[in-house]
Structure 1
Amino acid sequence: MRVSYNLFEEVYRCLMETALDEKVQQLQMLQQHWTEGAFNFEPTKTLHKVPDAGRPDKPDLVPPKELPRRRLGSKEGHAALMHSILHIEFNAVNLALDAVYRFQDMPREFYRDWLGVAGEEAYHFQMVREHLYHLGYEYGDFPAHNGLWVTTYETDHDPLVRMALVPRTLEARGLDVTPSMIQKLRAVGDKRGVEILKILLNDEIGHVEVGTRWFRYLCHQRNLNPFDTFTDIVKNYFHGDLKGPFNFEARQDAGFSDEEIDWLKSLETAS
């Protein structure tokens, strides 16, 4: 008799797990169960709000403005940059898991896509964590901020808003800033760091494309204009101003339309 697991209950358990290694192991088990067709998709009786997903006690979370500025040329500054990337990758695992748990009336392909993203983000986390270890540090040794999760929490009411604001706005910023981080790491001779960031950039294009695809699916389902809807959501939900420079080539590869690219170019010119 085949064992059946409830996808949403199992994903929630992984989402709320605080121990790093256990979280990764649970995620691997989720992917194995998916491959084996062992999940049922019965919606849970209760849908929990998650003001803070499972994470270790460290790093200490502080407002972005309170993060100390460190020069990349120093050993500590170099490690702090990698730590900030590591923190983003850890959050990205939780973001993908929450998308699966939160929106329980989506097509099954939606869950396949976001479980796949969670697995790739966990791979990124392990790569960056190992590199940080070789630099003499571990996850939690530097403070970090929780802005990415705050936005995730604020968009838990609607998958359309979530897709527009998290993968297509916040995570898409990684497409914009990673090339300059690659240059900085190359300047300090960190060949392994450069290799890792190239992998991250390539994979993140695919992750943003997943967000784009499901954003457009939901727009079509609701008879909404994708461009008008996207710009309205950014204006109404995004904290602060969306400013360039933008990586237009990577954003096009991630599914941004010509109209969206032109809009971003106007923002870059204005800023």
Structure 2
Amino acid sequence: MGPSEETLVEAALRVLSTADPFEKARLGDSVATRWLDGAIAESYHPHRNLLVPDRPARLSTVRLVPPSLMPKLGKAGSLQSRVAIVHSLAHIESWAIDLSWDIIARFGKQEAMPKEFFTDFVKVAQDEGRHFTLLASRLEELGSYYGALPAHDGLWDSATATSKDLLSRLAVEHCVHEARGLDVLPTTISRFRNGGDNITADLLESVVYPEEITHCAAGVKWFKYLCQRSINPSSDKEEQETCAASCGSTSDENEVIPKFHAIVRTHFRGPLKPPFNEAARKAAGFGPEWYEPLAVKEANTQ
């Protein structure tokens, strides 16, 4: 079977089996372009059972440490601090590439998701690959390189914990972790500007930040879709496709939000940390009623 005969899920598995993050990003961009151009025709083959790896291929040259042992990043006031922050962001994006292709390969067929689900996360994967490449290039301009500093794999720990359930994966990775990125990015951008590094600040502000809002929005959209589908499981395929196109605005949040709270309390340790970027979160499709009760209630139990 040649690459032109691949389904999208088979192509996603090729990306996940690629260890080098630069090649992973290049391959992912190629697959995404082919899917969006219609050169890959099928999401998955209904009669092929493919094994999704528990952990994607990764380079062994990046030294991994527990999150608690990570050195402080600083506030971008020095070159050392700026390098550390950019390295941390590049590492997060390297995992974001894998997370995007993993959700396609692991859950798309299993949950019989609409084509729009695949397209949304292909776009997310393509963006994450571009973010990694740009940040790694910026690291080199700052006199360093990806792999020069230690990193941690907390994002994949969460992916492992939610590997059996798409609702949980969407809630934790895309509505908690991605949204946390939206909370901290404006401060990070300001710190780079205050430190005199407008090049990095511009990269984060004009490319990474607005695209991360759309990534969080994809998580919120498909979380709502799955909740609505569970309420109306007998709806036909055409009705489900219509729901997929409109669920970002029409889902019954009285049903959805309690489900979100229950999943986050089960799969995410500790409270959600304010301050919250309410404007960015609203742009992604969810308001304070989603996240403030988690922060307040969890914090009050300590």
Aligned to 1:38: 40
Instruction: With the length of structure 1 as denominator, give the TM-score of the two structures.
Output: 0.92
- 3-state secondary structure, aligned to 1:112: helix
Structure 1 position 68 matched with structure 2 position 76: no
Amino acid aligned to 1:252: K
Equivalent residue in structure 2 for 1:213, among 221, 224, 242: 221
The 3 A distance-change label for structure 1 pair 54 and 115 is same
The 3 A distance-change label for structure 1 pair 264 and 255 is farther
Equivalent residue in structure 2 for 1:86, among 51, 65, 90: 90
Structure 1 position 77 matched with structure 2 position 78: no
Aligned to 1:55: 58
Q: Is the 8 A contact 1:248 1:261 kept in 2?
A: no
Could you tell me the percent identity over the aligned residues? 35
Aligned to 2:255: 225
CA distance in structure 2 between the aligned counterparts of 1:235 and 1:92, rounded to whole angstroms: 23
Q: CA deviation at 1:20?
A: 2.7
Amino acid aligned to 1:221: R
Q: Equivalent residues in 2 for 1:172-251 (5 A)? A: 172-198=179-205, 199-223=207-231, 225-251=255-281
Aligned to 2:235: none
Q: CA deviation at 1:10?
A: 1.4
Q: CA deviation at 1:32?
A: 3.0
The 3 A distance-change label for structure 1 pair 19 and 261 is closer
CA distance in structure 2 between the aligned counterparts of 1:68 and 1:257, rounded to whole angstroms: 33
Q: CA deviation at 1:168?
A: 0.4
- 3-state secondary structure, aligned to 1:240: coil
The 3 A distance-change label for structure 1 pair 215 and 70 is closer
Aligned to 1:15: 16
Amino acid aligned to 2:29: Q
Q: CA deviation at 1:258?
A: 5.2
CA distance in structure 1 between the aligned counterparts of 2:296 and 2:262, rounded to whole angstroms: 16
Q: CA deviation at 1:269?
A: 8.5
Aligned to 2:131: 124
User: How many matched pairs?
Assistant: 269
Unmatched 5+ residue regions in structure 2? 232-253
- 3-state secondary structure, aligned to 2:273: coil
Amino acid aligned to 2:8: L
- 3-state secondary structure, aligned to 2:274: coil
CA distance in structure 2 between the aligned counterparts of 1:261 and 1:27, rounded to whole angstroms: 32
The 3 A distance-change label for structure 1 pair 241 and 263 is closer
CA deviations on 1:12-37 (whole Å, 9 max, x unpaired) are 11012012332122112212321134
CA distance in structure 2 between the aligned counterparts of 1:267 and 1:181, rounded to whole angstroms: 28
Q: Which moved more, 1:208-217 or 1:124-133?
A: 124-133
Instruction: With the length of structure 2 as denominator, give the TM-score of the two structures.
Output: 0.83
Q: CA deviation at 1:266?
A: 4.0
Q: CA deviation at 1:39?
A: 3.2
- 3-state secondary structure, aligned to 1:201: helix
CA distance in structure 1 between the aligned counterparts of 2:69 and 2:296, rounded to whole angstroms: 31
CA distance in structure 2 between the aligned counterparts of 1:127 and 1:260, rounded to whole angstroms: 32
Q: Is the 8 A contact 2:136 2:145 kept in 1?
A: yes
Unmatched 5+ residue regions in structure 1? none
Cα-Cα RMSD: 2.1
Amino acid aligned to 1:31: A
Amino acid aligned to 1:19: D
